[in-house]
Structure 1
Amino acid sequence: MIVAGDRDPYPDACDTPARKLLFDLVSIPSPSGEEEAAAERLRAFFEANGREAWIDEVGNVRAPADDSVLCTSHVDTVPGDIPVEVKPALESAYDVDPDDPTGGEALWGRGTVDATGPLVAMAVAAVETGVSFVGVVGEETSSRGARHLAAERDPPDALVNGEPSGWNGITLGYRGFLAGTYVNTSESGHTSRPEPNAIQHAIDWWAGVEDVFDPADPETPVFDQVTTKPVSFDGGLSEDGLAVEATVDVQLRVPPSRTVDEVHELAEGQLTTGSVHWKEPIPPVMESPRTPLARAFRVAIREQGGDVRLLRKTGTSDMNLFAAAWDCPMVTYGPGNSELDHAPDEHLPLAELDRAVAVLSDVCRDRR
């Protein structure tokens, strides 16, 4: 019997260990950098179920066991105050059975989808089957937890990374991520002068970057494109009034068909003046659907009555970092509709959580 918690009372619908743990963790605010309380609750869950667990030097929750599978997901969420309550799921977000007397009961709250729901599914399945588990921190910002884990730990035999894919979907591919800050300074002068200033140089550079990555075929799927996005722009006179300054924060998403180094070189090649300070990149990843791990998921999902969906995501996850460091089969999996990531109506049907736990447990038993 799995022990989840001793809160009294839980909502009536939170009547299983997985549902109770989800309610507890969603009730604890855990934005990136403030994961300590949620990490302690997760550690306590493993210890209550007879598993050794501890919090490492960067804040990850570690519960090692059978390394035939490592289940991992992130403890942190984005900020946002969504009342934690059980109420019906939105039919526009989930397939809700109109004949279900529960009304498709769902837990609403920040993190239910991204990624506390997947985190709980990983934790409960790890306890049920005796496989290894790590809850990592900082995924929504620098991925410091995953970076530390990949550098410090030997690879498992197989990895399941927790992010929302829907209980009947598995994610095999993510684009990579390259972020940087363009900076430039020019002498101040009257605005009637024809010479371009730092702001114009910044605009010209970014226009060149957008142009060089504009897909030749407009029908190219987004997953296969390099997409470019400026995320902030700051420019104007310096405090002493003697210079014009410009700073642009930019992000580029890199498909598996290209390398981060190639994209970096092409972006740098558009510079005529100024410089770009690049952050540590995250490479793209595309896993095979034919690995024993992927096959185990297909079997487990079908046994639960689902039609399997194989997904490629246009964003980035910690699986990118694990794939770059470890040579082992891996997939990303977890309950929830990813369109609700970071959204004000984030919620997860409790029945979807149950199905995900069943699928994960079957997969872990198959791989042991």
Structure 2
Amino acid sequence: MTPAEADAAVELLESALAVPSPSGEEHPLAVHLAARMREAGLTASIDAAGNVIGETEPRPGPTVMLVGHLDTVPGELPVRRTGGVITGRGAVDAKGPLAAMISAVAAEADFPGRLVVAGVVEEETPRSRGAVHLGRTRPVPDALIVGEPGGWQGVVLGYKGKLDLRYRVTRAATHPSNPEPKATEVAAAFWQHLLDLLGPDAGHASFGTPGATLVAMHGDAAAAALEIGVRTPVGFDIPAFTAALRERADGGTLDVLNAVGAVLSPRTDPVVRALTAGVRAAGGTPRPTRKTGTSDMNTLAEVWDVPMATYGPGDSALDHSDDEHIAVDDYLRGIAVLRTALRHLAALPPRAAAPATGPAAADTRPDRPDTHPAAPAARQPEGVLR
């Protein structure tokens, strides 16, 4: 990377950080990045969901899609560069990875196939509306890189799935001394039933086990409600689990607000291998990891059975924090890693032309929350990594 290219890449990130983009308010940033993509020689557009999409000139080779997200959690953070560090909301999660992707794609504009870079909306919300729209409307690519922070030497193989639940129960108003169970007591018992169903080994520390969080609870003796998040491992049977919970609802109602399965790519996956080669070429030691959170890799794996992995510079421990920052050197190394990975992926054979949609491309979230496609066989567990 030349000094001029490095300066341009850093300025792109700083300019993106200067445009606030909390979930639902991404349009100004999409417009800004579309203009910057065009200046860099890409064609650019904003789709019906509000995603910004940049593309290189199409050629006969494979199509590689790189997907980051535009939105951040709420809360502005002053943008500043001090001592080789850039601070700002989204510097890590995930404008840093997205800006690195845009810079890498622009620098590899002579790619022998087609490169597509997308900044999607509402990744930080339960529905991941932008990624869902991509999966429903875009042609299936030959390979996918999702942009999330994992450190410039990290290659993320997979993420746990996520199940968002709401439990509500009512009971007749009565005196506190009445021995009949109160709504709050029934809700507390339901939470315990859920933990019992998950088993004694459940927890968030391991990729191979489910873990539950009681996100919120409110109510009184007459009416109570729980908001629950469950992180699920590969192979977890979401429909069977929710059916078992409903059997223990004790007159309450259980709503599935969101359901997305776990995803795990093997180390032999072409995208994993390409990113690993990129890290080595940049002088690093690849660190393949599995994360207990959830990303748009989960969402897109449900509709695109293609080689995929997640990559992005930045320390994920700083996600959403008031000290969110990224080292300039790490950001620039991330761009170099991506450029090398794209050159490796140029050797992929392009798939036959196929429509973007099909049975798997429907939005399975709130409309069909209990129907959950199984993870592709190529992404079954390789064992537990803590």
TM-score category, normalised to shorter length: 0.7 to 0.9
Shift of 1:221: 5.0
Deviations 1:283-337 (A, max 9, x none): 1101111022211111111111101100100000000011110011000000001
Match of 1:323 in 2: 301
* Of 118, 126, 131, the match for 2:105: 126
SS of equivalent residue, structure 1 residue 315: coil
Give the one of 180, 183, 193 matched to 1:195: 180
Aligned pair partner of 2:248 in 241, 263, 270: 270
* Contact persistence 2:162–2:258 (CA under 8 A): no
Change (3 A) 1:217 1:52: closer
Any idea what SS the aligned residue of 2:229 has?
Answer: strand
The equivalent of 2:321 in structure 1 is 343
Tell me the equivalent position of 2:285.
307
Residues 37-76 of structure 1 mapped to structure 2, 5 A cutoff: 37-65=28-56, 66=58, 68-76=63-71
2:88 corresponding residue in structure 1: 109
Partner deviation per Cα, 1:137-182 (whole Å, 9 max, x = no partner):
0000121000011011121000000000111111011000111111
How far is the alpha carbon of 1:194 from its aligned partner?
0.2
Q: Residue 10 of structure 2 aligns with which residue?
A: 19
Offset at 1:110?
A: 0.7
C-alpha distance in structure 2 between counterparts of 1:294 and 1:82, whole Å: 33
> Normalising by the residue count of structure 1, what TM-score does the alignment of the two structures yield?
0.87
2:24 is the alignment partner of 1:33: yes
Is the aligned partner of 1:207 residue 2:192? yes
Superposed counterparts of 1:223-238, under 5 Å: 223-236=207-220
Distance of 2:169 and 2:162 partners within structure 1? 23
Q: Give, as a single letter, the amino acid of the residue that structure 1 aligns with 2:174.
A: G
> How many Å separate the matches in 2 of 1:318 and 1:268?
28
Q: Tell me the distance in 1 between the aligned counterparts of 2:138 and 2:213.
A: 34
The correspondence of residues 78-227 of structure 1 with structure 2, limited to 5 A, is: 78-88=73-83, 105-130=84-109, 131-141=115-125, 142-216=127-201, 221-227=205-211
Q: Secondary structure at the match of 1:25?
A: helix
Deviations 1:162-214 (A, max 9, x none): 00011111101100011111111110011110000111111100111112213
Which of 320-329 and 268-277 deviates more? 268-277
User: If the length of structure 2 is used for normalisation, what is the TM-score?
Assistant: 0.83
Q: How many angstroms apart in 2 are the aligned matches of 1:216 and 1:359?
A: 37
**Residue 101 of structure 1 aligns with which residue?**
none
Aligned partner (choices 241, 252, 262) of residue 284 of structure 1:
262
For residue 112 of structure 1, give the secondary structure of its aligned residue in structure 2. coil
Unaligned runs of 5+ in 1: 5-13, 89-104, 238-243
Question: 1:174 touches 1:314 (CA, 8 Å); kept in 2?
Answer: yes
- SS for the counterpart of 1:140 is coil
Report the secondary structure of 1:179's partner residue.
strand
Q: Is the 8 A contact 1:335 1:353 kept in 2?
A: yes
Alpha-carbon distance in 2 for matches of 1:231, 1:39: 31
Runs of 4+ in 1 over 6 A off after TM superposition: none
Secondary structure of 1:363's counterpart equals helix
Q: Is the 8 A contact 1:160 1:330 kept in 2?
A: yes
CA distance, structure 1, for counterparts of residue 157 and residue 290 of structure 2: 6
Aligned residues: 335
Secondary structure at the residue paired with 2:317? helix
Q: Could you say what secondary structure the match of 1:280 adopts?
A: strand
Matching of residue 359 in structure 1 with residue 337 in structure 2: yes
